[in-house]
Every structure is written in C-alpha cells, then in structure tokens.
Amino acid sequence: RRLPESPSACTPQPAAAQIKTIDDVTNYRRRSSLLLSGTVIEQDMIVKGDLNLADRVAIHGDVRCQGRAVIGKDSVILGDVFAEGPIEIMHNAVVFGNLFSQDSVQLYPGVRIGQVGRIKSIIAKKRIIVDRNVAIFGYVLTEGKGLVL
C-alpha cells in the first residue's frame, strides 16, 4: 500500500478562519476510520472519530469510538461496541458483545446481538430503533424513545 505524499493528504486541513469554537478544534483533530470489505482486525480498536465498516469486516475485540459507528452488512464483532455518537448495525451483522451509545442505536433486519446463554445489553441514551427479524440475547435500555418496526 502507498503512503500519501504529505500528512495533509490524509486529513483536509481547515483554514484558520474555519476554527471559531472548541467544537471546530475537536472536529479538526478527529481522525475517522474506514475499513474496507473483507478486512479482519485481530485486536481491540479505538477510533478518535467516526468508524465506518464496509460489508463483511471482522473485528476480534472491542470497538471504542468517539464519533458515529456504522457496522456494515454481514460484519462480525466479537467484543463490545462503545460509541459517543450513534451506532448503526447494518443487515445481518453480528455483535457478540454489548452495545453502548451516548446517542442512539439502530439495528437493521437480520442483526444479531449476543448469543444463546450469554446475556448482553443494548444501551442508548437518546433512542433505540429495532427493525424486523433482529435477535437480541439480553436487555435493551434507553432514556429516550424506543421503536420496534
């Protein structure tokens, strides 16, 4: 794989006039991650931004994300998923651990959380949306709105 010629090729650099608040500084320093289809990670992941997993990605550990976490179709995570932003688990993905979001959780058709004989939890501060044909082996809790489609 080729490395970019300069660090600015990785992350767009904002002009000084764009940084006006502490949120602008936080977003400037945020590093988002995109894992391509078929990627296998054999350890825990910590992402200081948004995490986007393409279809059929496997992570053999926990995921901690300071932004949004989108888990692609048919992906597998063997550990827990913790996110400061929303979590979206796409069609037929499997998470064997707990889900925790300071924002919301949305589960699409065919998603499976946990496994038989091991109680896991889904906790979201603002909202949880569960689509049809979803299996959750454990508890679901939100301070906000819960919706089953």
Give the pLDDT band of residue 126 (cuts 50, 70, 90). Answer: very high
Give the pLDDT band of residue 23 (cuts 50, 70, 90). Answer: low
Take residue 16 and report the two structure tokens written for it: 């000084």
Take residue 93 and report the two structure tokens written for it: 């993905």
Helix, strand, or coil (residue 61): coil
pTM above 0.75, yes or no: yes
d(CA 50, CA 30): 8
φ and ψ at residue 70, rounded to 5 degrees: -120, 115
Take residue 130 and report the two structure tokens written for it: 């569960």
Q: Which residue has the higher pLDDT, 110 or 7?
A: 110
pLDDT digits (tens, 9 = 90+) for 90-100: 999 999 999 99
d(CA 4, CA 57): 24
pLDDT digits (tens, 9 = 90+) for 47-61: 888 999 999 999 999
Q: How confident is the model at residue 7, as a pLDDT?
A: 42
C-alpha atoms less than 13 angstroms from C-alpha of 51 in its C-beta half-sphere: 25
